[in-house]
């Protein structure tokens, strides 16, 4: 359920970062197949690691780590009946700690000076990571991100989520991004999928 803009054509040399994959790499596979490029993938869950091992795609450059605003270990909780673990959303399933790195550090480690496409499905962590990205003056050509609202029943958390998202959108637009809403059929009331394209 992701879309790419034609404004920035991709090639075999394009730098694609995919944050949060669990066991669904259909988008990554499609992009890699079409453009013959590597996909740099990051997910702290063992489910993702096993999935990548089973696929055994040499174009998938995978690390079992999370992305965060600092180098640290973060506590993740998993949904009780399957789904992606989160460092923010309150789940009742398995809990584990995992190492996390800053996006800027990952780019330095890979000798990347820019990102062509940044795709994020990271269960509530996108706003602080994107703000940290902007603090470090990292401006991908395209950003595709899912923004999951809090899964509790607290009205204040719900309003805080939208206020935080609005501030982030304003900030991205202030540095030259155009926002688009990606339509979706499933779980449309639980999250927003947005794309941001550099002007």
- Annotate 89-108 with DSSP letters as a single string: S--SS-EEEEEEE-HHHHHH
Does the reported pTM lie above 0.85? yes
Q: What pLDDT, on the 0 to 100 scale, is given for residue 89?
A: 62
Q: Is the pLDDT of residue 186 over 80?
A: no
| Mean pLDDT confidence for 129-138 | 96
Give the C-alpha separation, 115 to 37, whole Å: 13
Q: Give residue-wise pLDDT tens across range 49-73.
A: 899 999 999 999 999 999 999 999 9
State whether residue 68 is helix, strand or coil: coil
What backbone torsions phi and psi does residue 109 show, to the nearest 5 degrees? -65, -30
* Residue burial 5-30, b: 16+ Cβ < 10 Å; e: rest: beeeebeeebbbbbbbbbeebebbee
Give the C-alpha separation, 127 to 41, whole Å: 19
């Amino acid at each position: 359920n992701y879309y790419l803009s034609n404004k920035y054509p991709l090639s075999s040399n394009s730098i694609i970062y995919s944050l949060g994959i669990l066991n669904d790499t259909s988008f990554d596979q499609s992009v890699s197949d079409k453009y013959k490029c590597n996909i740099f993938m990051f997910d702290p869950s063992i489910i993702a690691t096993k999935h990548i091992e089973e696929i055994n795609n040499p174009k998938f450059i995978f690390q079992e780590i999370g992305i965060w605003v600092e180098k640290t270990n973060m506590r993740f909780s998993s949904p009780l009946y399957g789904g992606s673990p989160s460092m923010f959303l309150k789940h009742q399933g398995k809990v584990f700690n995992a190492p996390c790195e800053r996006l800027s550090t990952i780019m330095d480690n890979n000798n990347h000076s820019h990102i062509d496409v940044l795709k994020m499905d990271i269960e509530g962590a996108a706003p602080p990571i994107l703000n940290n990205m902007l603090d470090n003056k990292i401006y991908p050509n395209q950003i595709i991100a899912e923004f999951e609202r809090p899964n509790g029943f607290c009205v204040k958390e719900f309003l805080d989520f939208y206020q935080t998202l609005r501030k982030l959108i304003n900030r991205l637009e202030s540095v030259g991004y155009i926002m688009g809403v990606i339509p979706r059929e499933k779980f449309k009331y639980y999250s927003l999928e947005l794309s941001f394209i550099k002007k």
